[in-house]
């Protein structure tokens, strides 16, 4: 018992108690909305005092874990404030009738039932899945072909790699406007018909084209890294055995970069699901289509954009939030599957 002086004990307990009191008062002032200028200072000083008290806490057994907590605290605090609390609040908002300004009350699950009764929303889900499937296949295929090209012995390799990667560095909104100009002012000059963007089906193809243009270069870089890691002796051995180029490709190269293919597939999968900026700038979701017996005006609107326009354009923040919760669940399932499969592969190899 004599390890700690009574002065230290007193300092610890006083700091702890004063810290807790200051935190509570600071929070209380904020929640009550008094507009007191010192409420933030109080809160921060309270936290600091609390940790000083914790640091001085008279224990030898738990001292190490206390230090760990103190060091972890800033990160955990930031994570909780920026991720966990908004997530919980968001789920909470999806059960209300919040319109972005006022909230009158809780409405239970009615937002969730309502969103599945909207043909436009169901169409958005369907369209997003279609988009994901098309992109997963096309982006990977084109990126892989580009990677093969950029690992061969052509001249100006550095230029090609940079050129293919460059579109990825341009923001989606800018890309959308550039391609909008190309589709409605340049392409039409050659085809002599209406712009691809004016019809739902062709506008959907247009979005896929732009997306591939933007994303294939990035995936290509990952494939190039994969192809470069194939050991030279394996390739040499296969050529001595008389394998031609196609045989080398299908029997040596592809199996050797299987983990890269998994990574790229999931990268395209998740990013295609979250497609928003090109969609917004290129078509803004416009386009008509007949679906489930009704005329739908947002023929090219994908899930993320549908959530945005529900909340922001139509002032239905709570409904948009409910859709976002569903979106979160879909993405969580995809990501968990991705991690599981990737881990399994790594064990196998």
Applying CB under 8 A, which residues contact other proteins? 30, 35, 37-41, 43-44, 47-48, 51-52, 55, 67, 70-71, 74, 99-102, 114, 118-119, 180, 184-185, 188, 194-195, 197-199, 282-284, 286-288, 294-295, 297-299, 309, 312-315
Query: Shortest gap between Cβ of 332 and other proteins (angstroms)?
Result: 26
Closer CB to other proteins, 86 or 255, in the complex: 86
Cβ–Cβ < 8 Å for 249, 113: no
| d(C-alpha 139, C-alpha 129), whole Å | 15
Chain centre to alpha carbon of residue 8: 49
* CA torsion through residues 181, 185, 189, 191, sign: positive
* CA torsion through residues 278, 276, 288, 329, sign: positive
Closer CB to other proteins, 17 or 78, in the complex: 78
Query: Shortest gap between Cβ of 65 and other proteins (angstroms)?
Result: 14
Closer CB to other proteins, 101 or 240, in the complex: 101
| d(C-alpha 44, C-alpha 25), whole Å | 11
Query: Shortest gap between Cβ of 125 and other proteins (angstroms)?
Result: 17
Tell me how far CA of residue 228 lies from CA of 27, 94, 301, in angstroms.
56, 48, 39
Query: Shortest gap between Cβ of 54 and other proteins (angstroms)?
Result: 10
Output b/e per residue, 9-21; b: 16+ Cβ within 10 A.
eeebeebbebbee
Query: Shortest gap between Cβ of 222 and other proteins (angstroms)?
Result: 33
Query: Shortest gap between Cβ of 313 and other proteins (angstroms)?
Result: 5
| d(C-alpha 53, C-alpha 55), whole Å | 5
| Residue carrying structure tokens 């909470």 | 92
Token output for 187: 């392409």
Output b/e per residue, 24-36; b: 16+ Cβ within 10 A.
ebbeebeeeeeee
Chain centre to alpha carbon of residue 126: 19
Closer CB to other proteins, 200 or 260, in the complex: 200
| d(C-alpha 98, C-alpha 103), whole Å | 4
Query: Shortest gap between Cβ of 271 and other proteins (angstroms)?
Result: 23
Closer CB to other proteins, 71 or 109, in the complex: 71
Closer CB to other proteins, 128 or 309, in the complex: 309
**Roughly what angle, to the nearest 10 degrees, separates helices 157-165 and 200-228?**
140
Closer CB to other proteins, 104 or 245, in the complex: 104
Query: Shortest gap between Cβ of 175 and other proteins (angstroms)?
Result: 15
Q: Is 183 exposed, middle or buried (0-12, 13-18, 19+ CB in 10 A)?
A: buried
Query: Shortest gap between Cβ of 41 and other proteins (angstroms)?
Result: 5
Which of 150, 102, 134, 261 minimizes the C-alpha distance to 208? 134
Closer CB to other proteins, 164 or 183, in the complex: 183
Closer CB to other proteins, 32 or 133, in the complex: 32
């Amino acid at each position: 018992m004599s390890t700690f002086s009574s002065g230290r004990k007193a300092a610890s307990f006083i700091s702890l108690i004063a810290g807790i009191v200051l935190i509570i008062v600071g929070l209380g002032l904020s929640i009550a909305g008094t507009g007191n200028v010192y409420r933030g200072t109080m809160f921060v000083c309270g936290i600091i005092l609390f940790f000083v008290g914790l640091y001085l806490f008279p224990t030898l057994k738990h001292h190490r874990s206390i230090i760990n907590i103190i060091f972890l605290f800033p990160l955990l605090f930031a994570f909780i404030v920026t991720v966990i609390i908004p997530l919980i609040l968001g789920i909470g908002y999806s059960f209300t009738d919040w319109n972005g300004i006022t909230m009158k009350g809780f409405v239970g699950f009615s937002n969730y039932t309502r969103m599945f009764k909207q043909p436009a929303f169901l169409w958005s889900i369907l369209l997003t899945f279609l988009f994901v499937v098309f992109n997963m296949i096309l982006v990977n295929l084109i990126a892989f072909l580009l990677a093969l090209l950029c690992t061969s012995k052509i001249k100006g390799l550095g230029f090609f790699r940079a050129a293919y990667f460059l579109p990825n560095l341009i923001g989606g909104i800018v890309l959308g406007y550039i391609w909008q100009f190309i589709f409605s002012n340049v392409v039409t000059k050659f085809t002599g018909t209406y712009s691809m963007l004016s019809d739902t089906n062709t506008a959907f193809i247009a979005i896929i084209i732009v997306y591939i243009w933007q994303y294939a270069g990035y995936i290509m870089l990952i494939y190039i890294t994969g192809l470069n890691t194939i050991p030279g002796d394996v390739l040499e051995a296969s050529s001595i055995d008389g394998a031609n180029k196609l045989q080398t490709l299908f029997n040596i190269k592809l199996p050797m970069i299987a983990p890269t293919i998994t990574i790229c597939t999931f990268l395209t999968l998740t990013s295609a699901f979250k497609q928003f900026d090109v969609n917004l700038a290129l078509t803004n979701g416009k386009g008509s289509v007949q679906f489930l017996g009704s005329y739908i005006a947002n023929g090219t609107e994908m899930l993320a954009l549908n959530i945005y326009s529900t909340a922001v354009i139509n002032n239905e923040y709570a409904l948009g939030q409910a859709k976002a919760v569903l979106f979160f669940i879909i993405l969580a399932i995809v990501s968990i599957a991705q991690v599981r499969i990737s881990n399994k592969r790594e064990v196998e190899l």
